[in-house]
């Protein structure tokens, strides 16, 4: 299965970086404008609307319209795990409905003194079987500018 990974260092403590990435507001702030993201609905693991923190079991219904072209694409992601220790933290969201046959995005955070190393790792599978497999290198071309921008936005918000 194809994978994509990006790391960056943020000049901010782990607690701040972790908190920023733990909310739907953080997701909106991090997503490049050209994606046309809308958070349509968030549900906590207990079914409550708009939870303050996206805990394991939380569900996000999102829509995107990249570059303002074509119809809105709707997708649903679920936070499948979330773990925090003294010097690190991670959570994973899995797309359960959307344009990818498989999408598992793991967000990892590692304290390094007063700074944090942020790592995004994605396992993905495009639709269309063998044709999707053949096209997967081109998907990486779309991931790179999106995650480069997300990491830049993280630094701008927190440094």
CA–CA separation, 154 and 159 (whole Å): 8
For 39-79, what is each residue's pLDDT tens digit?
A: 999 999 999 999 999 999 999 999 999 999 999 999 999 99
How many domains does the chain fold into? 1
Higher per-residue confidence, 144 vs 93: 93
Range of the domain at 127: 3-158
Structure tokens at 59: 């569900």
Question: What pLDDT score does 140 carry?
Answer: 72
- Separation of alpha carbons 91 and 105, rounded Å: 8
Question: E strands along 70-158, which residues?
Answer: 73-84, 88-97, 102-112, 115-125
State how far the alpha carbon of 50 is from the alpha carbons of 2, 47, 73, 145, in Å: 32, 9, 21, 29
Q: Which two tokens stand for residue 135?
A: 């096209």
Look at residue 77 and give its three-state secondary structure. strand
Residue 137 has pLDDT above 80, yes or no: no
7 confidence band (pLDDT: 50, 70, 90)? very high
- Check: pTM over 0.85? Answer yes or no: yes
Which tokens hold the place of 126?
Answer: 């495009």
How confident is the model at residue 100, as a pLDDT? 87
Over residues 79-136, the pLDDT tens digits come to 999 999 999 999 999 999 998 899 999 999 999 999 999 999 999 988 866 654 655 6
CATH number of the CATH domain containing 30: 3.30.530.20
For residue 130, give every residue at least 6 positions away whose Cβ sits within 8 Å of its Cβ, in sequence order, or none.
none
pLDDT for 22 equals 96
């Amino acid at each position: 299965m194809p994978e994509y990974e990006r790391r960056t260092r943020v000049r901010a403590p782990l607690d701040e970086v972790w908190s920023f990435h733990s909310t739907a507001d953080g997701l909106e702030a991090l997503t490049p404008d050209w994606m046309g993201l809308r958070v349509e609905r968030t549900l906590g693991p207990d079914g409550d609307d708009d939870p303050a923190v996206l805990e394991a079991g939380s569900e996000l219904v999102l829509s995107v319209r990249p570059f303002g072209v074509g119809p809105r694409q709707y997708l649903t992601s679920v936070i499948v795990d979330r773990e925090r220790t003294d010097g690190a933290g991670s959570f994973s969201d899995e797309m359960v409905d959307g344009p990818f046959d498989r999408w598992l995005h793991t967000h990892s955070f590692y304290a390094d003194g007063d700074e944090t190393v942020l790592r995004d790792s994605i396992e993905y599978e495009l639709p269309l079987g063998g044709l999707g497999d053949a096209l997967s290198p081109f998907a990486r071309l779309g991931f790179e500018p999106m995650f480069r921008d997300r990491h830049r936005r993280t630094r701008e918000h927190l440094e």
